[in-house]
Structure formats: structure tokens, C-alpha cells
């Protein structure tokens, strides 16, 4: 035991003999690996204070008050929004920065052609330079957390060190934080070492570095979302996907929902859509009135990340959601499109980069039909409805605990997870790609997932609306070589006695006037119903070039003002468009040149020969 880890105040006891900092508490673990690692990070970052967090409600309140003193949080109208606060991030720090995100390994081949790579030693030495003394005058928070329901065989412990009180509060909402983590860790060395500093929040000195071999993440210079809440994309996707490949399980960018039919039959469906492309909405969907009256109910297990393994007893795929909260997109979210999300963020929620209205409420584009007359925009500037600027950032988000979700699935906290009957891939495609089709089999489904294309969104910095290949919606999140990732998907099938059926959907096809043809949101239940019936061997489909497709009469349109002809149009595959689609898939194939798994090559040939 060394001095640093024991003392709350690293330099000297504060004059009062009490800590100057909110929630300061003595070191909370006897785990020597943790203590030694925290000591080494304290020596490197040189914080004034080290505060070990325990994840209690009282502590969260103290942290929020501390953040309010520092100007990090603004209290919202507590009558309307109890326990809710607003945070404005630095305008240069509003989304994940994929170009500044690295997989750090001894050889570039381990990271593969789709990741930014840095050699391990080069990365450590570069980042050590940045972290050196970066927390002088600041507090280092020690955040123990578990990803996954407590007791789940796959549940993983992480410890994040951060100088951001915003990150500390968000980690408390997004993970199972506190004593549970020390308990699960015991005396072992098995935890992800997550070191994070805001630094000077300068994109020139921003690096999000993953060291899968060391089970370590170092993130510097960003306080936003996936860049900074290291349990999420860093641990639960990049590090976890690497571990999963070694240990025969999968970490995927997927939602997980339960669908209960009128006769009580429950089907769990996992779906991978790229960032800001509909996972939260699908996972929290409220079925149309007709379906509700019949007795259909959708419940949420997770909205962003799924860990899956093959159950030895049944040979079937099972899944858990490693997260405990939602970091959800706000623009477009409202009482009509996603009432469960609105309820989830009605209390104990952090709002990031939205507008503040005069009555202490929040607003974002699409929250209500009529915007407020005036507000303070997400940058803190006065805003009026006719000023021509956006009130909220396009990637503004809410952080809410999953317990707030009225549609939370009873199994969301179940360490045993749930069985997965269908896997759905989907992209944002204004043209070419039909509403829904089913893969011929697992290998074909993996090919469909691997060649998934989607128009880019504001969830990552860079151009918006450009079609790019986003394999399994995991392009920015695969923690190793994509070649090995695809092989892993093919091999997982061999461990299963029976496998989930694989589907592709596209809610985003537009007409010539640029309007969405399909109503989306709750109405997606109609497509989900066909998917469930197919997965259970009940619904009809015809064989087409791309896979099994429903005829328009196989999709129930009762109560919708959309005709069967329009659905036929949505399902149309135009041969010319599809030829360009196949050509644009080459973008990915060329990157993987020479390294393409043979299944991919054969599937491409079969597709071309079907055309």
C-alpha cells in the first residue's frame, strides 16, 4: 500500500481536516492490482485530489452539486424534470471522433484495414506525454463499474479514472457502478483499466486509444459520449469484441427487444443499425393501437450494445445488455415517435447539448411541432425560433437509467440473459434497399451484415448523409482485424444447434419528393411481426435476388394510410440500382484485399449469378 492510494488529498490534508471535494472517501478496495495501477496513474497525472466513488444516490447528488459549482451542470426546472440537469459540451467536442480513435497493438495486422492503428509502445509514449501532469489542480475520480447484469458469466469489471465530473455522473447512470464492482473483482487482476482526462479539450491533442492485449483504454482530450464514457464503446464493444473472439462470444452494436404475442409467446430479437439509425426507437417501440388491443407488447432489454454467447445446454444463442442506462439521440424524439424514451428522460436524467427554455425546460428539434419562441441554444447563446440556427446540436443526447423505462423487459437485469430468435441488420438508405428481406441462411446473413451500407449521421464527426459500408454497424467498434471478425461470425454458427434467422430492414427509403415512404417508429411492428413469424416458421415469403421477401399482402397494413402498391414499391429491387450497390460494396472488399474470408467471396458470386 502506498501513500497515494490511501490519501484522499494527494498533496496535503485540506486546512479543515476534511476533504475540499464532494464525496471524497478513502480508498475502497483492498485489491492490490487496482491500488498499484491507481498509484501509477496518480503519479502520471498528478491530480490534487483522488476521490473513490461508490455509486450511491447521495454521492451522485454531491457530484451534481459539485458540477453545478464548476458550471458543468445547469439545474433544470425540478418540478417539471426532477433530478434533471443540462450539460453543454465544448462545441469542438460533440460526437465520437473516429479519425482520432486507435487500436494499439504490436502489429498493424492485428488492427486490420478498417481501424486506425498505433504501435503499442509508440501509443503509450505519446499519450504518457499528454497525461503527464494533466490533472494538476483537478480531482481524479476513481469509478469502479460492472458491464452486464451482476452474476452474468460474461459480466466484466472496469475501473475508470477521470477528471470529468460529467463523466463520473454519466458512468453512474450507464453502468452498475460502485461496491458491486469491487465485490466481483475480488483479488483478481481481471478488470479493464480505463484512464481518461479532458486535457484541454483540444482536437489537436485528442486520442482515444485501445490496448486490447493489455485490457486498457487511454482516452485524452474529449469529454463526449463514446469518447469518454469508457464502459460503452471502448470496453463493451472494442475491448469486448476482442475478448469475445478469443473466448467464443460476441460483442455487437445491437438493440435487444422482447416481443410478447397475444397468446403470451415471447420472442427476443437483436438488431444492428448504425449510430443514430433507429436502435433506441426500435427497442422502445409501442405497437400500433390494433396490435396493443390484440395483446402485443414490446419490452426493452437494451438499446445499443449486446453480448451474445452459445448456451451449452440448448445450443442456442443467448444475450445480455451490458449497459444499465441509455445515452440516446434527442433530435426527432417526441411523444409520438418514442413515448417510452420521453418517459425514461422525465427524471434523473442528464441532457447534453440541448436548448434551455425560459421556464427551465429543455427543447430540441422535433421535440414539439411548434418550437419555443425563444431559448438559450446548446452553445449558451440566445436563440429565437426564426434565427436560422439549430437550438440543439444534431447529436444532442439524454443519459437516463434503464429503470426509468416503462417498457423495461423483466429480464434486463437477469444474469442468465435471453434467447435470441432473430438478428436484424438495417441501414439508413434513401434509395435502392427494400423495407425488409430475410437471408437464405446464416452465411448469407453474415454476408448481408458485412456489406451493410448506411448514410452517415451526426453521431460521429464528419460529413452526414454519405453512404458508407458499416459492417454489422460495427465499423467504428471492431477492436481487431475485420477479417478475423467476419471469420468469427461464420464460426459461431458451428457452435449452435439452431441459429437465429437473419434479416435486413430499411425504414428510411424516400420518395421523389424526399419524404420517408414508410411511417416507421411504432408502425415498424408490422415488419417485426413478419420477422417473428418467419423466425418461428409461420409466415410466407417469396425467393428473390436478395433473399426471402414478404409479398405486400404478407405485411399487415390495416389502419395505415399506405397502400399495398406503395409497399410493393418499397420492396422493389431495381436491377440498375442494385448493380451500383454491388459495385459500392467493392469499397469494403478492396480494403480487405486478399484477406476476404472465402464465404464472402462465394456469397458475392452467388449474388451476382442471381441478378
Q: Which residues of this protein are in contact with ligand GTP, per CB under 6 A? A: 273, 275-281, 303-304, 328-329, 331-333, 337, 459, 507-508, 516, 520-521, 524
Please, which residue, 21 or 304, has the CB nearer to Mn ion? 304
Q: Are strands 156-162 and 192-197 parallel, antiparallel or unpaired?
A: parallel
Question: CA 296, CA 288: separation in Å to the nearest integer?
Answer: 9
Distance CA(284)–CA(298), nearest Å, equals 7
For residue 126, give the 3-state DSSP assignment. helix
Q: Which is closer to ligand GTP, CB of 50 or CB of 532?
A: 532
Q: Is 117 helix (H, G, I), strand (E, B) or coil?
A: strand
- CB of residue 582 to ligand GTP, shortest distance in Å: 26
* 210 lies in the binding site for ligand SPV (CB under 6 A): no
Residue 259 found at the interface with ligand SPV (CB under 6 A): no
Shortest reach from residue 516's CB to ligand SPV, in Å: 21
Cβ-count burial of 147 within 10 angstroms (0-12 exposed, 13-18 middle, 19+ buried)? buried
Tell whether residue 211 is a contact of ligand SPV (CB under 6 A).
no
Segment contacting ligand SPV by CB under 6 A, of 100-108, 121-129, 226-234, 439-447:
226-234
Pick from 327, 364, 489, 548 the residue near ligand SPV by CB under 6 A: 327
Quick one: which H or E segment has residue 455?
strand 453-455
Minimum CB separation of residue 273 from ligand GTP in Å reads: 5
Residue 483: count of CB within 10 angstroms of its CB: 18
Closest to ligand SPV by CB, 226 vs 339, is 226
Instruction: State the binding partner of 225 from ligand GTP, Mn ion, ligand SPV, none, CB within 5 to 8 A by kind.
Output: ligand SPV
Cα 320 to the chain's mean position, in Å?
14
d(CA 250, CA 228): 23
Residues 292-321 that bind ligand SPV (CB under 6 A): 304
The verdict on 459 binding ligand SPV (CB under 6 A) reads: yes
Return the number of the residue (115 or 603) whose C-beta is nearest ligand SPV.
115
Q: Among residues 196 and 232, whose Cβ is nearest to ligand SPV?
A: 232
**Binds 507: which of Mn ion, ligand GTP, ligand SPV, none (CB < 5-8 Å by kind):** ligand GTP
- In the complex with Mn ion, the residue whose CB is nearer, 140 or 217, is 217
Least gap, CB of 109 to ligand SPV (angstroms): 26
Cα dihedral sign for 576, 582, 585, 586?
negative
Q: How many CA atoms lie within 13 A of 406 on its CB side?
A: 12
Candidates 184-192, 225-233, 417-425, 542-550; binding stretch for ligand SPV (CB under 6 A): 225-233
Closest by Cα among 175, 109, 184 to 145: 175
Under rule CB under 6 A, residue 518 binds ligand SPV: no
Min dist CB 271 to ligand GTP, Å, is 9
3-state secondary structure of 491: helix
What is the nearest approach in angstroms of ligand GTP to the Cβ of residue 566?
15
Taking residue 265's Cβ as centre, other Cβ atoms within 10 Å add up to: 10
Measured from the CB atom, the residue of 104 and 436 that comes closer to ligand GTP is 436
Contact partner, 156, from Mn ion, ligand GTP, ligand SPV, none, Cβ < 5-8 Å per class: none
Contact call for residues 163 and 140 (beta carbons, < 8 A): yes
DSSP 73-126: -EE--TTTSTT-EEE---TT-SSB-GGGEEEEESSHHHH-TTSEEEEHHHHHHH
What's the grid cell of residue 242?
Answer: 476482442
Q: Binding of ligand SPV at residue 534 (CB under 6 A)? A: no
Question: What's the grid cell of residue 341?
Answer: 424514451
CB nearer to ligand SPV: pick between 286 and 459: 459
C-alpha separations of 273 from 46, 248, 260, 270, 313 in Å: 41, 23, 22, 10, 30
Q: How far is the CB of 351 from ligand GTP (least distance, A)?
A: 14
Q: Which is nearer to ligand GTP, 332 or 401 (CB)?
A: 332
Nearest distance from residue 553's CB to ligand GTP, in Å? 22
Shortest CB 393 distance to ligand GTP, Å: 13
Dihedral over Cα of 470, 471, 473, 477: its sign: negative
220 vs 200: CA distance, rounded Å: 9
Rounded-to-integer distance, Cα 3 and Cα 323, Å: 34
Task: Tell me which residues in 273-292 interact with ligand SPV (CB under 6 A).
Answer: 275
Instruction: Report, in Å, the least distance between residue 233 CB and ligand SPV.
Output: 5
Site string for ligand SPV, 87-126 (x = CB under 6 A): ---------x------------------------------
Name residue, grid cell 423466425. Answer: 535
Report the nearest approach of ligand SPV to the CB of residue 540 (Å).
35
Cα angle value 424/150/319 (rounded, 5°):
15
Site for Mn ion, rule CB under 5 A:
275, 304
C-beta atoms surrounding 307 within 10 Å: 29
Rounded to 10°, the helix 120-131/32-45 angle is 60
Angle CA 138–141–144, to nearest 5: 165
**Residue whose CB is less far from Mn ion, 157 or 460:** 460
State the CB neighbour count (10 A cutoff) for residue 149: 20
| Contact present, 96 and 460 (Cβ < 8 Å) | yes
Q: How far is the CB of 130 from Mn ion (least distance, A)?
A: 26
Q: Which does 233 bind (CB under 5 to 8 A by kind): ligand GTP, ligand SPV, Mn ion, none?
A: ligand SPV
Owner of C-alpha cell 415488419 = 527
Q: Residue 232: which of Mn ion, ligand SPV, ligand GTP, none does it interact with, CB under 5 to 8 A by kind?
A: ligand SPV
Partner from Mn ion, ligand GTP, ligand SPV, none binding residue 328, C-beta < 5-8 Å depending on class: ligand GTP
Binding site for ligand SPV (CB under 6 A): 96, 225-226, 232-233, 275, 304, 327, 459
Amino acid at each position: 500500500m502506498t501513500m497515494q492510494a490511501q490519501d484522499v488529498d494527494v498533496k496535503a490534508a485540506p486546512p479543515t481536516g476534511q476533504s475540499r471535494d464532494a464525496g471524497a472517501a478513502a480508498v475502497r478496495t483492498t485489491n492490490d492490482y487496482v491500488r498499484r495501477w491507481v498509484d501509477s496513474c496518480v503519479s502520471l497525472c498528478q491530480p490534487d485530489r483522488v476521490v473513490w466513488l461508490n455509486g450511491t444516490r447521495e454521492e451522485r447528488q454531491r457530484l451534481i452539486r459539485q458540477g453545478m459549482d464548476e458550471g458543468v451542470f445547469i439545474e433544470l426546472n425540478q418540478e417539471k424534470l426532477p433530478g434533471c440537469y443540462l450539460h453543454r459540451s465544448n462545441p469542438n467536442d460533440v460526437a465520437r471522433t473516429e479519425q482520432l480513435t486507435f487500436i494499439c497493438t504490436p502489429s498493424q495486422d492485428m488492427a486490420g484495414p478498417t481501424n486506425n492503428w498505433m504501435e503499442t509502445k509508440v501509443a503509450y509514449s505519446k499519450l504518457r506525454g499528454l497525461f503527464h501532469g494533466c490533472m494538476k489542480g483537478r480531482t481524479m475520480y476513481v469509478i469502479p463499474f460492472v458491464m452486464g447484469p451482476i452474476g452474468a458469466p460474461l459480466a466484466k469489471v472496469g475501473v475508470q479514472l477521470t477528471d470529468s465530473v460529467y463523466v463520473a455522473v454519466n458512468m453512474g447512470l450507464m453502468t452498475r457502478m460502485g461496491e458491486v464492482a469491487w465485490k466481483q473483482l475480488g483479488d483478481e487482476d481481471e478488470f479493464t483499466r480505463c484512464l481518461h482526462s479532458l486535457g484541454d479539450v483540444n482536437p489537436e491533442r485528442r486520442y482515444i486509444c485501445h490496448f486490447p492485449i493489455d485490457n486498457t483504454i487511454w482516452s485524452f482530450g474529449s469529454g463526449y459520449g463514446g469518447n469518454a464514457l469508457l464502459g460503452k464503446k471502448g470496453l463493451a464493444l472494442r475491448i469486448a469484441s476482442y475478448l469475445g473472439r478469443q473466448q467464443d462470444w460476441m460483442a455487437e452494436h445491437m438493440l435487444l427487444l422482447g416481443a410478447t404475442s397475444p397468446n403470451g409467446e415471447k420472442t427476443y430479437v437483436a438488431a444492428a443499425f448504425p449510430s443514430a439509425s433507429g436502435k433506441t426507437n426500435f427497442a422502445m417501440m409501442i405497437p400500433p393501437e390494433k396490435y396493443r388491443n390484440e395483446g402485443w407488447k414490446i419490452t426493452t432489454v437494451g438499446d445499443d450494445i449486446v453480448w451474445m454467447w452459445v448456451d451449452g445446454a440448448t445450443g442456442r444463442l443467448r444475450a445480455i445488455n451490458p449497459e444499465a442506462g441509455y445515452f440516446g439521440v434527442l433530435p426527432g424524439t417526441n411523444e409520438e415517435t418514442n413515448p417510452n424514451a420521453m418517459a425514461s428522460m422525465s427524471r434523473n436524467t442528464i441532457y447534453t447539448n440541448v436548448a434551455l427554455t425560459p421556464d427551465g425546460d429543455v427543447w430540441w428539434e422535433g421535440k414539439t411541432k411548434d418550437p419555443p419562441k425563444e431559448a438559450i441554444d446548446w452553445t449558451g447563446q440566445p436563440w429565437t425560433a426564426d434565427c436560422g440556427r439549430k437550438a440543439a446540436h444534431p447529436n444532442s443526447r439524454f443519459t437516463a437509467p434503464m429503470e426509468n423505462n416503462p417498457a423495461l423487459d423483466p429480464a434486463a437485469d437477469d444474469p442468465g440473459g435471453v434467447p435470441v430468435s432473430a438478428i436484424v441488420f438495417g441501414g439508413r438508405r434513401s434509395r435502392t434497399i427494400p423495407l425488409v428481406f430475410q437471408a437464405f441462411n446464416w452465411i448469407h446473413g453474415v454476408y448481408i451484415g458485412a456489406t451493410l451500407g448506411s448514410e452517415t449521421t451526426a453521431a460521429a464527426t464528419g460529413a452526414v448523409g454519405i453512404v458508407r459500408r458499416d459492417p454489422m454497424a460495427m465499423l467504428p467498434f471492431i477492436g481487431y482485424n475485420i477479417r478475423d471478425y467476419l471469420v468469427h461470425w461464420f464460426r459461431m454458427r458451428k457452435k449452435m444447434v439452431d441459429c437465429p434467422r437473419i434479416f435486413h430492414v430499411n425504414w428510411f427509403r424516400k420518395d421523389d419528393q424526399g419524404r420517408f415512404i414508410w411511417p416507421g417508429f411504432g408502425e415498424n411492428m408490422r415488419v417485426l411481426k413478419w420477422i417473428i413469424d418467419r423466425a418461428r416458421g409461420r409466415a410466407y415469403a417469396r425467393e428473390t435476388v436478395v433473399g426471402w421477401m414478404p409479398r405486400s399482402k404478407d405485411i399487415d397494413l390495416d389502419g395505415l394510410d399506405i397502400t399495398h402498391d406503395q409497399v410493393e414499391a418499397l420492396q422493389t429491387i431495381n436491377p440498375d440500382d442494385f448493380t451500383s450497390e454491388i459495385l459500392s460494396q467493392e469499397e469494403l472488399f478492396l480494403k480487405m484485399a486478399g484477406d476476404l474470408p472465402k464465404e464472402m467471396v462465394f456469397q458475392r458470386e452467388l449474388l451476382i449469378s442471381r441478378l
